[in-house]
Amino acid sequence: MERQAKIMDMKEYIEEAESSLLHTYNRFQIVLDKGEGVHLYDINGKEYLDFVAGIAVFALGYGNKAYNDALKAQIDKLIHTSNYYYNVPAVEAAKKLKAASGMDRVFFTNSGAEAIEGAVKTARKYAFLKDGRTDHEIIALEHSFHGRTMGALSVTGNQKYRDPFEPMIGNIHFARMNDIDSVLSQVNDKTCAILLETVQGEGGLTPATKEFLAAIRKVCDEKDILMMLDEIQCGMGRTGTMFAWQRYGIKPDVMTSAKALSCGVPMGAFMMTEKVGQNSLVAGDHGTTYGGNPLACAATNAVFDQYEKLHVLDNVNKVAPYLEKKLKELMSRHTCIKEHRGVGLMQGLLFEQPVGPIINRALDKGLLLINAGANIIRFVPPLVITEADVDQMISILDTCIEE
C-alpha cells in the first residue's frame, strides 16, 4: 500500500504540473527530488545515473559541500542589491572569469540567451560607432542554437525554431560550419560580426576545426569584424580546456558563457577584449536587474574554487578519452549507430533512427540521457564522473539498444 501511495504521489505531481505550467516541454514522466554525486533520485527514491547534468550545467555533480556552503553563507549575508551598487562577489567573479577566459571586460547576465543578446548589441554598437550606420549584418551558422529570446533566436540556424516568430531581427545571414567559403561569400562592408558555437551543441555535437576558426580570425582582423564565440554549452571545462577555443589558441573578440558558469544558479556572461569594451556599450546601452547579483556571483566564485581544488580539467582529460573509446566500441557492436561526434565530455552518437525510444528505455533502467536532434544521443555528464560511471552507462545503453 505504501508503494502504491508513492506512485500515486508521483502521478499527482505530474498532473498538477500539467494543469499549471505552460506546456512548452515534453517532460520525462518522473519527479526528481534530490541529487548526490553523479546520481539523481526521484520522489520514490529511485536512483538515476545522470549523463545530462541539467543540460551541461551541473559540472560539479550534486551535493558538493563547499559549493552549497558558499551559497548558504551568501544567502545569510546578501542576495540582491541591483547594479546601482558594487558588490564583492561580483568583483571577485569577474576577476576569476577574466583570468580563466583571457578576456578583459565582463557583463553578467541571468542566462545564456541574455548573454547572446548582449553580444549582438555589442557588435552592432561597435560597428555603429565606426560609421554611424544602422544596417550592419551578422553572419551566424546553420544548425546553431543560441537561445529562445528574439535576438538569440534570430541568430539560431534552425528554421523550424524561427518560423512561428517571424519577423526576426534583420540582417542575419547563415553560413555552414567548417566551410570557410560559405562564410567568406557573405562578408561585405556591412558585416559587423561572425558568430558561432566553438562546438555546436543542439545542432549535433560538431566541433569547429582549427583551420575554420583561424580563417574566421583572419578575415575579422583584416576587416575589423568582431569574431564572437558562443561557449555557453561547450565552455567551462567541458572540452578539456576552460573554454573550447583555448584548445586552438584562437581568441575571439567577444564570447558568451552560462550553464556550468554557476552550476545551477541562473547566471550567464558576455565578455570582450579591452578594444571592444572601449568602443561599444556605454552607460544606458544595456542593463539587467538581477544579473551579477551577490548570490549568483557567490555561486560562480565557488565553481572556480572547486574546479581548482578538484582538478576538474584534469579529470575531463582523463575520463573523456575513455568515454570516447567506449562509445566507439558500442558503435562497432550496433549497426544502427552511424557516427560518433564531439570532444571532451560533450559527445554524441548518431543513429539511423529516432533515439527517443532508446532514451526512454534508459530512463526506466536508471540512466538519464538526452538527444540533440531526433537521431542523436548526447552525452554531457557532470565533469566529475569516473571511468566506472562510464562503464555503468555503456552497460545500460548497450542493453537498451539491443532491446
Share of the chain above pLDDT 90, in %: 96
Residues 45 and 75 reside in one and the same domain: no
Residues 146 and 89 reside in one and the same domain: yes
Predicted confidence at residue 9, as pLDDT, reads: 87
Phi, psi for residue 392 in degrees, rounded to 5: -65, -40
Among 310, 345, 368, which residue terminates a domain?
A: 310
For residue 66, name the pLDDT band (cuts at 50, 70, 90). very high
- Concatenating the DSSP letter of every residue in 266-329 gives S-EEEEE-HHHHTTS--TTS---SSTT-HHHHHHHHHHHHHHHHHTHHHHHHHHHHHHHHHHHH
Mean pLDDT of 207-219: 98
Any domain includes 200: yes
* Structure confidence by residue, pLDDT tens digits, 306-355: 999 999 999 999 999 999 999 999 999 999 999 999 999 999 999 999 99
For residue 5, name the pLDDT band (cuts at 50, 70, 90). very low
Give the range of the structural domain holding residue 87, as residue numbers without chain letter: 65-310
Any domain includes 2: no
**Three-class SS state of 139:** strand
CATH number, domain containing residue 193: 3.40.640.10
Share of the chain above pLDDT 70, in %: 98
Looking at per-residue confidence, does 275 or 3 come out higher?
A: 275
Query: What is the rounded CA–CA span in Å between residue 149 and residue 242?
Result: 26
Residues 283 and 253 reside in one and the same domain: yes
Among 255, 287, 310, which residue terminates a domain?
A: 310
CATH number, domain containing residue 345: 3.90.1150.10
Predicted confidence at residue 2, as pLDDT, reads: 45
Any domain includes 57: no
Residues 37 and 148 reside in one and the same domain: no
With beta carbons less than 8 A apart as the criterion, state whether 7 and 44 touch. Answer: yes
Residue 32 parent element (H or E): strand 32-36
Residues 258 and 386 reside in one and the same domain: no
Residues 94 and 31 reside in one and the same domain: no
Nearest to 118 by CA among 213, 228, 194: 228
Residues 173 and 317 reside in one and the same domain: no
Residues 130 and 197 reside in one and the same domain: yes
Query: What is the rounded CA–CA span in Å between residue 258 and residue 57?
Result: 8
pLDDT at 235 over 70: yes
Any domain includes 11: no
Residues 259 and 367 reside in one and the same domain: no
Q: How many domains does the chain have?
A: 2
Any domain includes 58: no
CB neighbourhood size of 317 (10 A) = 16
pLDDT at 49 over 60: yes
Among 286, 310, 334, which residue terminates a domain?
A: 310
Residues with Cβ within 8 Å of residue 286, at least 6 apart in sequence: 107, 118, 121
Would strands 39-42 and 32-36 be described as parallel, antiparallel, or unpaired? antiparallel
- Helix 356-364 vs helix 387-402: crossing angle, to nearest 10: 120
pLDDT at 297 over 50: yes
**Three-class SS state of 118:** helix
Residues 342 and 266 reside in one and the same domain: no
Residues 291 and 355 reside in one and the same domain: no
Distances (CA, A) of 134 to 129, 228, 347: 10, 19, 40
pLDDT at 178 over 50: yes
- Bridge partners, 196 (sequence order): 229
Looking at per-residue confidence, does 9 or 58 come out higher?
A: 58
With beta carbons less than 8 A apart as the criterion, state whether 149 and 155 touch. Answer: no
For residue 22, name the pLDDT band (cuts at 50, 70, 90). very high
Predicted confidence at residue 220, as pLDDT, reads: 98
Nearest to 93 by CA among 110, 107, 114, 81: 107
> What is the average pLDDT value for the chain, to the nearest integer?
96
With beta carbons less than 8 A apart as the criterion, state whether 241 and 216 touch. Answer: no
Predicted confidence at residue 6, as pLDDT, reads: 53
- Bridge partners, 105 (sequence order): 272
The DSSP output letter for 163 is G
Any domain includes 269: yes
User: What residue spans of 102-143 are helical by DSSP H?
Assistant: 112-131
